């Protein structure tokens, strides 16, 4: 009888473990500066629905001139009289103990120079790694996420050395973090050309627990023409080999082809759109000339960017009935909207579902979402809040 009970218990334990491990990752980034936004755009930890995520990343901390962790905004992060973002994020685990809360270093504004200098010097690397260990343990984070944008590119100090140095840095971080049960992940480029410069794919894959591939920002106001922020597939209008690579499928397949483990790859999506002011309101197709970025929305306040929850003249992208005409690109499998000379490409529940199904078809680890704050987190546009994140969860888990 006791043997039978033990066997039954073991079987149920295995079933339970299988149900947990079989689920896909849903990695959610918290952009800490969104606590400063006004009105319905303001977002802080209290707005997070932790049930929708397996991992939450705090973005960002920085790299100081001494090559140690630098808190970029102490009032938001850990000041006694601030929102205490670190503490409250870790506190989300009280209602979901299996949740992993990690801290992310870097981001676009950090650049590449200081990271390149640190990675090239064994002594500086060790100073950095010790600082990361102390920091993650001091605040109770479950791991560390490195968002160096990008090795070998932009203002890199040692562009010819960065690929090897980056791989070495990750391997040393892994050796330091793993014995303490801490996770290591990185946000990496999904652009084929940039990724080929930046990464030793097999070495990066071996070192990381999760590879968050940023298959977005392929087009934007930094171009001189219209293009979608995150097409799933190429368009027949892509007339060069380089343009044909500027899509999520090409970016993910490049990582797979070059030796990355699919069981570690998280497919990255954004909850904002990239917008344009057309040079000619009658020419609205891909690659049409532009005057610049689209007019800023009230929350992000940046020309060329509109959150899924954000509006122009009171009309939010996510509203189905509006004065912005909706179009579906059946080649790229993504939508865009047009109003006069304003053009915005973005992801909606339809395109997110297709991307999540792609993740399943490729046996990838899951998806990464940048970021909470520009999904419809208040549920203003429909019957539920977080429609994009909820779509991911419905397909993956």
**Domains of the chain by residue range:** 24-270+347-396
315 confidence band (pLDDT: 50, 70, 90): low
State the Cα–Cα distance between residues 265 and 188, nearest whole angstrom: 10
Rounded to two decimals, what is the model's pTM? 0.93
- Distance between the two ends of the chain, CA-based, in angstroms? 36
Task: Give the percent of the chain with pLDDT over 90.
Answer: 89
Calculate the alpha carbon distances from 232 to 244, 263, 314 in Å: 11, 20, 29
Q: Give me the pLDDT at residue 383, please.
A: 87
State the Cα–Cα distance between residues 375 and 347, nearest whole angstrom: 10
The DSSP bridge partners found for residue 62 are 70
- Ranges 11-15, 224-228, 232-236, 287-291: which has the least confidence: 11-15
Annotation marks residue 331 as catalytic: no
Residues composing the chain: 397
Q: Pull the structure tokens for residue 257.
A: 């082809």
Q: Give me the pLDDT at residue 316, please.
A: 78
Average the pLDDT over 286-298 and give the result. 96
Q: Looking at the predicted structure, is the pLDDT value of residue 17 above 70?
A: no
22 confidence band (pLDDT: 50, 70, 90): low
Fold (CATH) for 24-270+347-396: TIM Barrel (3.20.20)
- Ranges 8-17, 89-98, 367-376: which has the least confidence: 8-17
Kind and range of the H or E run holding 240: none
Average the pLDDT over 168-186 and give the result. 98
State the Cα–Cα distance between residues 108 and 33, nearest whole angstrom: 14
The DSSP bridge partners found for residue 27 are 55, 368
Q: Give me the pLDDT at residue 36, please.
A: 96
Q: Looking at the predicted structure, is the pLDDT value of residue 38 above 50?
A: yes
Looking at every residue in the chain, the average pLDDT score rounds to 93
311 confidence band (pLDDT: 50, 70, 90): confident
Q: Looking at the predicted structure, is the pLDDT value of residue 309 above 50?
A: yes
Burial class (CB in 10 A: 0-12, 13-18, 19+), 127: middle
- Ranges 111-120, 222-231, 288-297, 315-324: which has the least confidence: 315-324
Exactly one of 76, 110, 149, 310 is catalytic; name it. Answer: 149
312 confidence band (pLDDT: 50, 70, 90): low
Q: Looking at the predicted structure, is the pLDDT value of residue 19 above 70?
A: no
10 confidence band (pLDDT: 50, 70, 90): very low
State the Cα–Cα distance between residues 17 and 44, nearest whole angstrom: 33
């Amino acid at each position: 009888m006791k043997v039978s009970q033990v066997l039954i218990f073991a079987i149920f334990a295995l079933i339970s473990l299988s149900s947990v491990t079989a689920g896909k990752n849903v990695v959610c980034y918290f952009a800490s500066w969104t606590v400063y936004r006004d009105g319905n755009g303001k977002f802080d930890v209290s707005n997070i629905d932790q049930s929708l995520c397996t991992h939450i990343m705090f973005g960002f901390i920085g790299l100081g001139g001494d090559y140690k962790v630098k808190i970029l905004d102490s009032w938001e992060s850990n000041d006694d009289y601030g929102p205490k973002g670190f503490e409250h994020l870790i506190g989300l685990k009280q209602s979901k103990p299996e949740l992993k809360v990690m801290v992310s270093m870097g981001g676009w504004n950090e650049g590449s120079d200081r990271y390149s200098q640190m990675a090239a010097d064994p002594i500086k690397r060790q100073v950095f790694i010790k600082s990361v260990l102390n920091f993650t343990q001091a605040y109770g984070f479950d791991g560390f996420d490195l968002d160096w944008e990008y090795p070998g590119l932009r203002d890199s100090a040692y562009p010819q050395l960065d690929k090897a140095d980056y791989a070495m840095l990750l391997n040393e971080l892994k050796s330091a973090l793993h014995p303490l049960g801490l996770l290591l992940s990185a946000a990496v480029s999904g652009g084929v050309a940039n990724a080929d410069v930046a990464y030793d794919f097999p070495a990066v894959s071996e070192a990381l627990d999760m590879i968050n591939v940023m298959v977005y920002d392929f087009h934007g106001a930094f171009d001189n023409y219209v293009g979608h922020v995150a097409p799933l597939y190429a368009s027949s209008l892509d007339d060069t080999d380089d343009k044909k690579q500027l899509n999520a499928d090409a970016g993910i397949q490049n990582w797979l082809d070059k030796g990355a483990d699919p069981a570690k790859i998280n497919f990255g999506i954004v909850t904002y759109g990239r917008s344009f002011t057309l040079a000619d309101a009658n020419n609205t197709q891909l690659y049409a000339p532009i005057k610049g970025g689209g007019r800023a929305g009230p929350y992000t306040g940046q020309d060329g960017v509109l959150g899924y929850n954000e509006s122009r003249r009171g009309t939010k992208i996510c509203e189905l009935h509006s004065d912005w005409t909706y179009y579906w690109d059946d080649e790229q499998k993504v939508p865009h909207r047009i109003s006069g000379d304003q053009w915005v490409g973005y992801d909606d529940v339809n395109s997110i579902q297709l991307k999540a199904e792609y993740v399943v078809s490729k046996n990838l680890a899951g998806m990464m979402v940048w970021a909470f704050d520009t999904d419809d987190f208040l549920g203003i546009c429909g019957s539920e809040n977080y429609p994009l994140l909820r779509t991911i969860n419905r397909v993956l888990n």
